[in-house]
Amino acid sequence: MSGAGAARAGAGPGAGDGADAARAAGAEGPQELRRQIAETRSQLGDTVEELAAKADVKGRARARAADLRDRAGALTVQLRSTAAHAGHIAQDRAVRAGHTVQGTAGRAGVPYGTPCRGP
């Protein structure tokens, strides 16, 4: 015999049944070995899915574009709200300033509606 056949023939009893390999891998029996195989398959499946997702450049670009569109839309809403609020504040200040001018003019004896004249 030569090669793998000679190695198996000289390995002793139980060498061909996988029991030694299972014990060497940390398995205590066939059930444990099956559990380890199932777990390894699951991990391998997850790894393959992650690699496939990384390789899907077109899909990643679409997702990034959708994210940027969402963020731009949110910023637009925020800016419009801020601008509207600033407009209301400016309007309130203008009204108050007008009332202040009317009050000051009234105390100075200038009748309401009199046009202002420059120097």
Contacts of 53-56 spanning 24+ positions with Cβ under 8 A? none
Choose between 36 and 15: higher pLDDT: 36
In tens, the pLDDT along 64-107 reads: 999 999 999 999 999 999 999 999 999 999 999 988 988 887 78
Domain ranges of the chain: 18-55, 57-106
**pTM strictly above 0.75:** no
C-alpha 38/C-alpha 55 separation (Å) is 26
Is the distance from CB of 36 to CB of 25 less than 8 angstroms?
yes
Rounded average pLDDT over 42-52: 92
